[in-house]
A and B are shown apart, each in its own frame.
Chain A
């Protein structure tokens, strides 16, 4: 009864085309943003910012990137971490070698670098799809990490291959506390997420979905496959690249190329699938799930073992974590194959009538 479109008439084109056409949605987004920008910074402790909130936002951004490629354009990719690595190391080099450049611009340029690399590795998608393409994107994963390790120029001749991200300044403010880092990441993620949301319902987004649903039909109605697919790779890699730069500069601080391993690619893919492919909301939900889950397991398992008076050691806790992780993934795939974002869809439909039965 409270969440329905009845009575909201659009009288001009601008109102008709806005990203969130429902008043309730706009209020909801405003509340979420207010929570994120005002309430959380006022209440949360530093641990929350550095261990949960910042990684959550960074991985949300990466998941949005992969979601554009896999969820919207239907091209399965296992090279997400490689594109994040390109972003991280490109940002490092931009900041290092072009000192006058504002840091935000460096991050965006890093995203552009990642987009170029992404397009190069997206070329095979013109010939192959599905699992063949997924394996092909693995080439990006291994090649990029290898190149970053082998050519010392990328890491500024660091002996160990580890880079320490420089301190970031934005508009004259130093990002020297977890809280400021969080606010900076939140700003970038909010802007980019809104852009992605808008892009997904634009001409481009619809072309992506047409290609995803049936590429031959898409081509027949005049969608240029080459351009559309490469654009999906470029935009997706741009998001991943920016996420990688934020990962290095605002979350971890010191990064080595191996940090962007295949494991991370899979993690981001899990976020997309569990959260819900083809929804921006799903990227956030999935990222939240996979950032919180390991922390929850590492607390819950020893507690449960103590409760049941089972002998446990550190190693077996790790293995139980692995097992629970795997089992939970399978569980969610079985009970909610369309992702957690689907639960929100169902809730919305229920809310139209609530509290009345019909």
Chain B
């Protein structure tokens, strides 16, 4: 039982990290209908820029700001030079363009900042919380808990931003209906820039946390592959879906690895979330919280 709990909590907390990446996806998909495969590359690029700027001797807070600035510039440039040129193209073209963008960022990041694996020190140790370990004999990483907290704060902040600001309302309007939003005078292109910048910010947070966990290296790009089943489970258009989906994927993949893995030789973490998502799709094609109007075939 105790072991089960420990695996479950570990899985849930790592699921939070997946949610963070999925969140960036959902933001962009909601507002512009673009399936942004470059989110993983953005996480990598954000983390690399942060570490690179930090390496120049800039203090921590300023480095975060500057890296955020870089992500904003990136978002604006993406809107200006990619999205705006591809308006009215089929979704697959936009998807391919984001893959192109992913390649571009994967080259640009190390080109600017070098490619050696680097550490991010956030000042939180990746060790078990003492109280829980003593009293309940549960090993829960302090760092993971902190990451979960950051994620929670981020989601709350985004929810407030979406619900209670002018820009947030405009964002929701655009997500609902591009044409209608345009006709009431919402500047679509500005909104897209903002969405990409916000997604860049989420990528920066995810990059910092993942980077602190595993080091900043090119393998950070692959976190995108962890986020995809999360999206399927949660639905492409739902922020809560991204969170819940992340938790489900994180916990079940760890549990499956521990309890089922040895029957088939282990290493099933790579594909289990996908199979889970597939099975789930057969029952509920729009995901947990996805919009119902998805075309049923």
State the A residues within 8 Å of B (CB): 70, 76, 124-132, 134-136, 138-139, 142-143, 146, 149-151, 215, 225, 262, 266, 269-270, 273, 277, 315-316, 318-330, 333-334, 337
Contact = CB atoms under 8 A, between A and B. Distances in A.
12 contacts: A70-B92, A125-B297, A132-B294, A150-B266, A215-B297, A262-B225, A326-B102, A326-B103, A329-B96, A329-B103, A330-B104, A333-B96
B101 interface: yes
Given A135-B229, A139-B277, A146-B268, 8 more contacts: A129-B295, A132-B281, A135-B228, A319-B110, A327-B104, A329-B99, A333-B100, A337-B89
A319 B111 contact: yes
A127 to B, nearest CB: 5
B232 A132 contact: yes
Given A146-B268, A321-B107, A323-B108, A131 B274 contact: no
A97 B107 CA distance: 44
B91 A315 contact: no
A282 B99 CA distance: 20
Tell me the dominant secondary structure on chain B's binding face. Answer: helix
A126 B111 contact: no
B265 interface: yes
B55 interface: no
A131 B111 contact: no
B271 to A, nearest CB: 4
Interface of B: 35, 81-82, 85-86, 89, 91-93, 95-97, 99-108, 110-111, 115, 225, 228-229, 231-232, 236, 264-268, 270-271, 274-275, 277-278, 281-282, 285, 294-297
A323 B100 CA distance: 9
Contacts of B225: 138, 262
A149 B93 CA distance: 33
Interface centre among B96, B105, B285 (most CB of A within 10 A): B96
B267 A146 contact: yes
Contacts of A327: 100, 104
B139 to A, nearest CB: 28
A333 B285 contact: no
B100 A326 contact: yes
Contacts of B99: 266, 270, 326, 329
A127 B281 contact: yes
Given A323-B103, A326-B102, A131 B91 contact: yes
A315 B275 CA distance: 37
A255 B268 CA distance: 22
Contacts of A143: 271, 274-275
A150 B268 CA distance: 10
Given A150-B264, A150-B267, A326-B100, A127 B93 contact: no
Contacts of B296: 127
A139 B275 contact: yes
B104 A126 contact: no
Closest 8 CB pairs of A and B: A322-B107, A326-B103, A326-B104, A329-B100, A139-B274, A323-B107, A142-B271, A319-B111
B51 to A, nearest CB: 16
A273 B188 CA distance: 27
A326 B107 contact: yes
A162 B51 CA distance: 37
Contacts of A323: 103-104, 107-108, 111
Contacts of A139: 271, 274-275, 277-278
A138 B85 CA distance: 29
A126 B270 contact: no
Nearest to B295: A129
A266 B89 CA distance: 20
B274 A138 contact: yes
Contacts of B104: 322-323, 325-327, 330
Contacts of A330: 81-82, 97, 100-101, 104
Contacts of A321: 107
A143 B49 CA distance: 34
A195 to B, nearest CB: 26
Given A316-B111, A319-B107, A319-B108, A128 B93 contact: no
Contacts of B236: 131-132
A204 B115 CA distance: 50
Nearest to A229: B297
B288 to A, nearest CB: 13
A158 B237 CA distance: 45
B101 to A, nearest CB: 6
Contacts of A333: 86, 89, 93, 96-97, 100
B184 to A, nearest CB: 28
B277 A136 contact: yes
A131 B267 contact: no
Nearest to B284: A127
A25 to B, nearest CB: 29
Contacts of B111: 316, 319-320, 323
A146 B270 contact: yes
Contacts of B281: 124, 127-128, 132, 136
Nearest to A273: B96
A138 B267 CA distance: 17
A134 to B, nearest CB: 8
A273 B232 contact: no
Contacts of B268: 146
Nearest to A328: B100
Contacts of A124: 278, 281-282
A130 B231 CA distance: 14
A262 B222 CA distance: 11
A127 B277 contact: no
Contacts of A266: 99
B297 A127 contact: yes
Contact of B297 (A129, A146, A318, A326): A129
Contacts of A126: 297
A104 to B, nearest CB: 33
